[in-house]
Amino acid sequence: MTASLARHEFPSPDALAEALAQRVARELATAIAARGRASLAVSGGKTPVRFFKALSKQALDWANVAVTLVDERLVPDTDERSNARLVAQNLLQGAAADARFVPLYSPAQTPELATHNAANALTVSGVPMPLDVAVLGMGGDGHTASFFPDAENLGALFANAAGAKVLPVTAKSAGEPRLTMSAQLLGAARFVALHIEGQEKRAVLEEALSGGTKPIATMIAMASTPVEVFWAP
């Protein structure tokens, strides 16, 4: 495990989005050249929209890229809070529409069954593992993916004793139940980026790295390669 990271700072969110898109595209192209295909896991929320749009314009063999989600709310892709909907509207456009998208959501009756379906989808669809690229976000409470500070059994979620690919998460601050890719799966990615914007989130990250107990610090420590932080005011 390592708590090391690299920092990249940009003058604006637009500059960050373009630089991150170029870097992710290079990592995916390298993976395709080496193994014939590549995998990318992305986060939801408002922050990555510029990045998604910039990435969709990158020249890449998109037909050999599998795109999935770091986490997802248990809502259908017709819901405006769906991460799958966000990705479809902003990333899977133009040439990037040729990418193979593997959602985590399924219309299951329970979070546990939805978790099983999501893990099975990742396996059956042949999403290359370890992930080539994982792009994480972070909330103002220090959560990343769906590892919320108030999640039930947060320690057990990180420990993931059963070695699950996908885990169900229940937390009051999360609103609806969620699914999250395991920290082990995310941490094993060949390239892990943390995309954050604004002074408030920078302060949250610095607090976490100075010895706090916020989930983002645990995730960074679990990464097998140094996490690269992309930040803009």
Mean pLDDT, range 68-93, rounded to an integer: 97
Mean pLDDT, range 54-79, rounded to an integer: 98
User: What band does 3 get if pLDDT is binned at 50, 70 and 90?
Assistant: low
Cβ count near 59 (within 10 Å): 8
Helix spans in 36-145 (H):
49-56, 83-90, 111-124
The pLDDT value given to residue 200: 98
Token pair in block for residue 207: 């607090």
The pLDDT value given to residue 211: 87
Task: Flag whether pLDDT at 110 surpasses 60.
Answer: yes
User: What band does 1 get if pLDDT is binned at 50, 70 and 90?
Assistant: very low
Q: Which residues have C-beta within 8 Å of that of residue 158, sequence separation ≥ 6?
A: 147, 183, 215, 218, 222
Walk me through the domains of the chain, giving residue ranges and CATH numbers. Answer: 5-232 (3.40.50.1360)
Task: Flag whether pLDDT at 2 surpasses 50.
Answer: no
Task: Flag whether pLDDT at 45 surpasses 70.
Answer: yes
Mean pLDDT, range 39-47, rounded to an integer: 97
Distance of CA 197 to the CA centre of its chain: 16
Token pair in block for residue 89: 């509207």
Residues paired with residue 22 on neighbouring β-strands, in sequence order:
none
- The pTM assigned to this predicted structure is 0.97
CB 15 within 8 Å of CB 197:
no
CA distances for 116 relative to 29, 69, 112, angstroms: 31, 15, 6
More confident: 174 or 109: 174
The pLDDT value given to residue 105: 97
Task: Flag whether pLDDT at 38 surpasses 60.
Answer: yes
The average confidence (pLDDT) of the chain is 96
